[in-house]
Amino acid sequence: RTGVLLSNAQGEAVAYALFNLQDRGAMIIDPGTRVYAGMIVGEHTRANDLEINVLKGKQLTNIRASGKDEALILTPPMRLSLERALSYIEEDELVEVTPKSIRLRKKLLDPNDRKRAERAKTAAA
């Protein structure tokens, strides 16, 4: 199984950030989706989990660029049904089900707590 892409902050996902992070893996959220730290926002192309910033907007300056801004073309996000979400998660992940959405998240939202739990798990083994 591949790793997951995790949001590292709370806010609204930005199309510019999602466009620049597409090469890291497939996304499961749309631009404008409310996210929080520890929420799974995509599937990583490698085996490890990666924290990413989906809130980072384009830097705006007063200097005009020689070229024009190109339209951002995003690959469509993976849609998760309840069955697919339940089959997708690992033992350290949870599925949040609300009337309007199905979200995936880590059991431990804080990255320091996740690292501490991983170290304790490897020390016990």
Question: Of the CATH numbers 2.40.50.250, 2.60.40.1120, 3.40.50.10440, 3.40.50.2000, which one belongs to the domain with range 4-58+73-124?
Answer: 2.40.50.250
**Helix/strand/coil for 7:** strand
Kindly list the domain boundaries of the chain, sorted by start residue. Answer: 4-58+73-124
The answer to whether the beta carbons of residues 13 and 53 sit under 8 Å apart is: no
- Residue 119's region, left for phi above 0, alpha for psi from -120 to 50, else beta, is alpha
pTM: 0.88
Q: What is the pLDDT of residues 42-92, one digit of tens each?
A: 999 999 999 999 999 888 777 766 655 677 889 999 999 999 999 999 999
Q: What is the pLDDT of residues 107-116, one digit of tens each?
A: 999 999 999 9
